[in-house]
Structure 1
Amino acid sequence: MRTPKLPTFFLAAAAALLLGSGQSAEARMICTIVADAATSEILTEEGDCQTRVTPASTFKIALAVMGFDAGVLKSTSAPTWEWKEGDPDWGGAAWRRPTDPAAWMKHSVVWYSQRITPVIGAAELSRYSKAFGYGNADFTGDPGKNNGLERAWISSSLKISPREQVAFLTRLLNGKLSVTEQAVANTRAIVEEADVGGGWRLWGKTGGAFPRKANGEFDRAQGWGWFVGWAEQKNRRLVFARLIQGEREPGLSPGRLAKAQLLKEWPKRAAQLAR
């Protein structure tokens, strides 16, 4: 299936996000929120966790659930789709390789998302999102551009708050999304695991995107960085969301910085929450 080519200005901005990447001393934490998956109790909430912003690539978790439930995605290894000329490739060589659901999630491949969304359709994407409590469930895209299936989740119409991210993930883990058990199992299987020590196993997804200035251009100095997911230790499971915004540093995209920050903090945070 052929997908529309992304505008040049978006490709340039996105490439700059990945290659220039990271956050500087100017970067600020917008929100850190942690909840108990078993009770939905919010254990810690720092900053503004209620304002909605673009989900960026964290939307891949929700899209995976939709894709598996709708039958667009068959398993963690199928379908395998080929990169085609005109598809986004600013993510590097990994984006130009044949890609299956596991590789899509691992390498955050934009064009693979763009193969899934047209098959599901905007109306069904919105229906799923409303049922999931996933932000504003708006897949209209940029005003007047009819590009919702291409990029509603990338600095466009779809928006979600950190609180809503945590609530969605809690429902996912507790089987409360009104989708098939296999859709949930396959989604959980492709979310990347990280080693945090202290007996904790952690799974999560990064996301990064630029807000727009009043003139419509991307504000490259104020990139959002997300890291959302869950962590388990013995029979305890916590759900988290970290959102940052600000200048970039060499070597890390905003999302990767948000991840690095939270992974570094996690053992101490988790120990404090256990008290």
Structure 2
Amino acid sequence: MKNGKLLLTLILAVVLSGSALNLMPKADAHNVITELPLEDSFGGVPGTMVLKNLKTDKQYVYNGERSRERFTPESSFKVPNALIGLEEKAVADEYEVKRWDGVVREFEAWNRDHTLASGMRHSVIWYYQAMARDIGAERMQRNLDRIGYGNRDISGGIDRFWLNSSLKISAQEQEAFVEKLVEEELPFQEQTMKTVKRILIDEEKDAYTLHGKTGTRLSDMGLGWYVGYVETEKATWVFATNIDGSGSKARQLTKEALLKLGIIPE
């Protein structure tokens, strides 16, 4: 068993170094998509992971077919929602407080006042729903069209379209969106993008900083997302993972993959 794990680690190291057999023509080296051998990590859980090294511009994918399939973003939509809210002045900054309405919800952390930043950290749906209503359908649609987010369909209602409803996006599209955020190439003010990147910090270590947002279909826990990026001394890696399960499970699988691939240390 130990020898098997060692062999897998060696194979992954070769793949990520770019020394593995290239299945695409050499002229297309920068567009190569390499299949990630993460079957053991996912343990039979249906899902996909898209991973891109922004330094080399190489992309790695587990389950390429699913990576192109669109699903509802659930709370991973808080990322574009925050960008649009800031850009459209629906909130002044990451510290703007919205008062709790007194309705007791399923998660204790939601039952208090929140800011844009704490609402992102605790995935407070009511905060971002209130902000979406303040943005309004016309401005929300215009911004989703500008950034080309998924199918851009908000017909499910201004405060619900991303929650098991009309808006859908693939892992490939999530990766492309986050990549543009990292590179600050989205059609938003520089300060808007810097603010959202800051409030997305999920974990800070000496060797890396992990920025990420989970998303879970709360009705049945049957869909989970974890999207974001990790900064290391060597490179920045953008990722988008979705599974048949919770967002916390998607986050766990993503971190395990980053560890196994040697992108972040133990």
Larger RCO: 1 or 2 (CA < 8 Å, sep 6+):
1
> Is this a same-fold pair by TM over 0.5?
yes
Task: Answer yes or no: is 1:139 the counterpart of 2:138.
Answer: no
> Within 5 Å, which residues of 2 pair with 1:223-262?
223-246=222-245, 254-262=246-254
SS at 2:169 equivalent:
coil
Seen in structure 2, the aligned counterparts of structure 1 residues 100 and 51 have a Cα distance that, compared at 3 Å, is same
SS at 1:123 equivalent:
helix
State TM-score, norm by structure 1. Answer: 0.74
- Aligned mates of 1:40, 1:137 — CA distance in 2: 26
Preserved CA contact (<8 Å) 2:203 2:209: yes
Task: Answer yes or no: is 1:206 the counterpart of 2:200.
Answer: no
| Partner of residue 175, structure 1 | 184
Preserved CA contact (<8 Å) 1:52 1:161: yes
| Partner of residue 53, structure 1 | 71
Deviations 1:10-42 (A, max 9, x none): xxxxxxxxxxxxxxx996132111012356532
| Partner of residue 264, structure 1 | 256
- Aligned mates of 2:138, 2:56 — CA distance in 1: 32
Preserved CA contact (<8 Å) 1:27 1:244: no
Preserved CA contact (<8 Å) 1:54 1:155: yes
Task: Answer yes or no: is 1:165 the counterpart of 2:165.
Answer: no
- Aligned mates of 1:209, 1:192 — CA distance in 2: 22
- Aligned mates of 2:69, 2:61 — CA distance in 1: 17
Deviations 1:59-96 (A, max 9, x none): 00111111111111212211x0111144x72222x212
SS at 1:178 equivalent:
coil
Preserved CA contact (<8 Å) 1:196 1:263: no
- Aligned mates of 1:269, 1:27 — CA distance in 2: 19
SS at 1:153 equivalent:
coil
| Partner of residue 164, structure 2 | 155
Seen in structure 2, the aligned counterparts of structure 1 residues 205 and 271 have a Cα distance that, compared at 3 Å, is closer
State TM-score, norm by structure 2. Answer: 0.77
Task: Answer yes or no: is 1:89 the counterpart of 2:111.
Answer: no
CA shift, 1:270, in A, is 4.0
Deviations 1:142-199 (A, max 9, x none): xxxxxx11210000001100000000001111111111011101111111322578x2
Identity across the alignment (%): 31
How many residue pairs were aligned? 222
- Aligned mates of 2:162, 2:57 — CA distance in 1: 26
- Aligned mates of 2:92, 2:233 — CA distance in 1: 31
- Aligned mates of 1:130, 1:239 — CA distance in 2: 22
Preserved CA contact (<8 Å) 1:54 1:159: yes
Unpaired segments ≥5 residues, structure 2: 1-41
Considering only aligned residues, what root-mean-square deviation do their CA atoms show, in Å? 2.2
- Aligned mates of 1:236, 1:183 — CA distance in 2: 23
Preserved CA contact (<8 Å) 2:224 2:248: yes
